[in-house]
Amino acid sequence: MHREILSLGTPGRGTTELTGRLQSLVAATGVEVGLCHLFLHHTSASLILCENADPTVRRDLEVFFARLAPDGDPLFHHTAEGPDDMPAHVRTVLTQNALTLPVSGGRLDLGTWQGVYLWEHRTGPHRRRLTVTVSG
Amino acid sequence: MHREILSLGTPGRGTTELTGRLQSLVAATGVEVGLCHLFLHHTSASLILCENADPTVRRDLEVFFARLAPDGDPLFHHTAEGPDDMPAHVRTVLTQNALTLPVSGGRLDLGTWQGVYLWEHRTGPHRRRLTVTVSG
Amino acid sequence: MHREILSLGTPGRGTTELTGRLQSLVAATGVEVGLCHLFLHHTSASLILCENADPTVRRDLEVFFARLAPDGDPLFHHTAEGPDDMPAHVRTVLTQNALTLPVSGGRLDLGTWQGVYLWEHRTGPHRRRLTVTVSG
């Protein structure tokens, strides 16, 4: 079981692709066939598998979630850190913080159009901790 | 660690139950106590655990998601493959592509009312790749 | 691979924190570095990682999901067990029944603000089965 902890800076709300960095990390473990578990230690950012060819997909996801859980929605009472505080928690609960991916041939075995993204839900920049565990 | 790759045809939008096929596959590995990891290599179809007794539950899920992310919603710019293209990505992000299930007594240890379903979100038929990993 | 099955009573709709109980269970296994898999054997209750400091976050999640999938919504045909029946299935599909968490230093390695919660979606009290698998 190989474990690595990454510290990732985000520029504020939006997606950052992690696929290349994770592929290098998996390759370095020497595991040929196994599983790679990702865990994000936060409640206002998440991990998604998303179409990796057309950036418009991620733009559309962003506007969809903004319509679903708008910043400043009067429904929310938890506004301690601003109008994007509670929407960030809602978006996180609707997506995922933990993701397990297959490793095959020494690589993450993703579909042709699948990329792994860190999705920052807060509007300001943050530092995010990701634990990667590769077993095989 | 036992691995199998399934190629599954879907008739278009809707759910296909995989529970029976997965139970046979788990039984064939001889693993008595362990975990079964499922991974769908796509961004417009997903895996869900759903009530398996009344098909109306899956009909209701379908209409709920159709209301939440309607085909042809003018909010979406990514329409390259038609009006169901972006709604399929949204539905996938709101559900799951990876699922880990317990194996006990040589079987998937699901609840009485839990079935594993492949949920096709595109309106047309597709072929979908599923990687199954059983460890114990 | 260590396995334990918990039987958890819920007082009806709302969240019950499991973090402390799971920490004790992980500590008792003696696993120092590994993974902890949680599986809830139901289709009308789910597991979430949620902000654990301000209970208002969980109040806001509750009202958000009540607006998204209201009890008694005429959209739903599956009403066999009452107006909260189908909304409970929808909430479960939108969240998770299976969760894998990292174990480090003999403990669940959660973020500072992350707690593990059982989220009951039915309005009445229920007994829920949770399978915990710790490997390392």
ipTM, interface predicted TM-score of the complex? 0.97
Which of A57, A91, A50, A111 has its CA nearest to residue B92?
A50
**Cβ–Cβ under 8 Å, residues C30 and C134:** no
Contacts of A98 (CB under 8 A, 6+ apart): A37, A38, A39, A40, A47, C49, C99, C100, C101
Residue in C with minimal Cα distance to B99 = C98
Interface test with C, best of A5, A6, A47, A93 (most C CBs within 10 A): A93
From the list C60, C94, C104, the residue facing A86 with the nearest CB is: C60
Looking at the complex, does the CB of residue B130 fall below 8 Å from at least one CB of chain A? no
Using alpha carbons only, give the angle C25, C27, C28 rounded to the nearest 5 degrees.
Answer: 65
Q: Distance from A67 to chain B by nearest Cα, in Å? A: 9
Say how far apart CA C40 and CA C95 lie, in whole Å.
Answer: 12
Looking at the complex, does the CB of residue B111 fall below 8 Å from at least one CB of chain C? yes
Q: Which two tokens stand for residue C37?
A: 């898999």
Q: Distance from B128 to chain A by nearest Cα, in Å? A: 10
Q: How confident is the model at residue C78 (pLDDT cuts 50, 70, 90)?
A: very high
Contacts of C45 (CB under 8 A, 6+ apart): C10, C88, C92, C118, C119, C120, C121, C122, C126, C128
Do residue B51 and residue C43 have CB atoms under 8 angstroms apart? Answer: yes
Q: What is the pTM of this model?
A: 0.98
Q: Which two tokens stand for residue A104?
A: 């095959």
Looking at the complex, does the CB of residue C51 fall below 8 Å from at least one CB of chain A? yes
Q: How confident is the model at residue C47 (pLDDT cuts 50, 70, 90)?
A: very high
Q: In what order do the strands lie in the sheet with A114-120?
A: A14-17, A114-120, A45-51
Q: Distance from C34 to chain A by nearest Cα, in Å? A: 8
Percent of chain B with pLDDT over 90: 100
For residue B46, what pLDDT is reported? 98
Mean predicted confidence (pLDDT) in B25-48? 98
Residues in C touching A94 (Cβ below 8 Å): 94-95
Which of B77, B8, B83, B3 has its CA nearest to residue B38?
B3
For residue A78, what pLDDT is reported? 97
For residue A79, what pLDDT is reported? 96
Using alpha carbons only, give the angle A49, B12, A62 rounded to the nearest 5 degrees.
Answer: 35
- Tell me the three state secondary structure of residue B119: strand
**Cβ–Cβ under 8 Å, residues C50 and C57:** yes
Amino acid at B27: A
Q: Distance from A41 to chain B by nearest Cα, in Å? A: 19
pLDDT in tens, B59-116: 999 999 999 999 999 999 999 999 999 999 999 999 999 999 999 999 999 999 999 9
Say how far apart CA A79 and CA A90 lie, in whole Å.
Answer: 13
Q: Which residue reads 């992980």 in tokens?
A: C26
Residues in C touching B56 (Cβ below 8 Å): 77-78
Do residue A60 and residue B77 have CB atoms under 8 angstroms apart? Answer: yes
Do residue A96 and residue B96 have CB atoms under 8 angstroms apart? Answer: yes
Mean predicted confidence (pLDDT) in C111-132? 98
Which of C99, C48, C108, C111 has its CA nearest to residue A41?
C111
Mean predicted confidence (pLDDT) in C79-107? 98
pLDDT in tens, A68-117: 999 999 999 999 999 999 999 999 999 999 999 999 999 999 999 999 99
- Tell me the three state secondary structure of residue C30: coil
For residue B99, what pLDDT is reported? 98
Residues in A touching B78 (Cβ below 8 Å): 54, 56-57, 59-60
For residue B78, what pLDDT is reported? 97
For residue B69, what pLDDT is reported? 98
